[in-house]
Amino acid sequence: MKDKSSILAVGTVAIDAVETPLGKRDKCFGGSASYFSYAASFFTSVKIVAVVGDDFPAEYRAVLEQKGVDLSGIEVRKGEKTFFWRGKYKGAMNEAETLATELNALLAFKPLLALQDTQPVLFLANVDPEIQYKVIEQKKGSKFTVMDTMNFWIQNKLETLKKVLAKIDALVVNEGEARQLTGESNLIRAGEALRCMGPSHVIVKKGEHGVLLFGDEGFFALPAYPVKDVYDPTGAGDSFAGGMVGYIAKTGTYDFATLRQALIWGTVVASFTVEDFSLERLIRLKPDELQQRYNDFVKIIRL
């Protein structure tokens, strides 16, 4: 039996605490897989593989269920707590200062895929590359695999990370990670060097400066959508990936032209994410608002 979802997303489902110049939340819904799957669910169906503790709030679960996200792959570990992250942003909010990371249930995360996990698209959010590698080995029927990572793994698990890179189709990283992974300060050279490590498509996220795409058919650069009030940048990258991969999975084609288009959708979804804390703005987002902002954005950037 095939799973009806088109994306399998492996990542974190978390409880966050966030402070920015425009406000704070002592406890809110977070995690890479949460943002990713909520964003992707505007385009297609997603199944999450993750782990939480038995403190994980039912209302957070309901947030994703209401968007049709398949949560059957979320393991609930009894007597343990959910992964917790506390962070703070200052000034232009380009980077989070991590104040606390409590891995909790995440320490025992060993994703076991089900027989029916034959989704054509696999998204590996930022987790230990050893976990990412084991998921790729288990995954059947994958036509397009996208991964994210972070500076910690580049610094501490580079060899495993390189093994994963050799097996994926698209890499999503931010500009600092692109430079760190390649040793190239020029982002164009960095993007090309990353393609040489395996993925045929490399997406470099630059926050307020937009995003770059390096692919087999060339290069594409896209500015960010102009957001005036950034309340909380947490999850912007994950929901960018969600919009992008969601659009790709919906079309079922994996070429350069589709990825260019997917970058626009990812940018538009992420522009909503940052307009409020946690998933709050995404939860209020209606499909026609998304379409309207897409239209507005295209008007801004079209030559």
* Closest separation in Å from C-beta 247 to a copy of itself: 14
**Are the C-beta atoms of residues 202 and 170 closer than 8 Å to each other?**
yes
Residue type at 212 in one-letter notation: L
| Nearest CB to a copy of itself, comparing residues 92 and 158 | 92
| Nearest CB to a copy of itself, comparing residues 34 and 267 | 267
| Nearest CB to a copy of itself, comparing residues 60 and 220 | 220
* Closest separation in Å from C-beta 84 to a copy of itself: 28
* Closest separation in Å from C-beta 300 to a copy of itself: 6
Exposed (0-12), middle (13-18) or buried (19+): which is 168, by Cβ within 10 Å? buried
Question: How many whole angstroms separate alpha carbon 146 and alpha carbon 140?
Answer: 15
| Nearest CB to a copy of itself, comparing residues 92 and 108 | 92
CA 35 from centre of chain: 7
| Nearest CB to a copy of itself, comparing residues 198 and 210 | 210
| Nearest CB to a copy of itself, comparing residues 33 and 230 | 230
Neighbours of 17 (CB within 10 A): 17
| Residue ranges in contact with a copy of itself by CB under 8 A | 91-93, 179, 185-189, 192, 206, 208-210, 212, 218-224, 226-230, 260, 264, 298, 300-303
| Nearest CB to a copy of itself, comparing residues 76 and 227 | 227
Question: How many whole angstroms separate alpha carbon 23 and alpha carbon 231?
Answer: 7
- For helices 187-196 and 175-182, the axis angle rounded to 10 degrees is 60
Written as one string, the DSSP assignment of 200-242 is: SEEEEE-GGG-EEEEETTEEEEEPPP--S--S--TTHHHHHHH
* Closest separation in Å from C-beta 177 to a copy of itself: 14
Cβ neighbors of 35 (< 8 A, separation 6 or more) are 235, 238, 239, 242, 273, 279, 282
* Closest separation in Å from C-beta 65 to a copy of itself: 35
Task: Dig out the tokens for 207 from the structure.
Answer: 């926050």
Burial 186-207, CB ≥16 within 10 A → b, else e: ebeebbebbbebbbbbbbbbbb
In whole angstroms, how far apart are CA 194 and each of 181, 182, 299?
A: 8, 7, 32
| Nearest CB to a copy of itself, comparing residues 21 and 252 | 21
**Are the C-beta atoms of residues 103 and 127 closer than 8 Å to each other?**
no
* Closest separation in Å from C-beta 210 to a copy of itself: 6
* Closest separation in Å from C-beta 242 to a copy of itself: 21
* Closest separation in Å from C-beta 20 to a copy of itself: 11
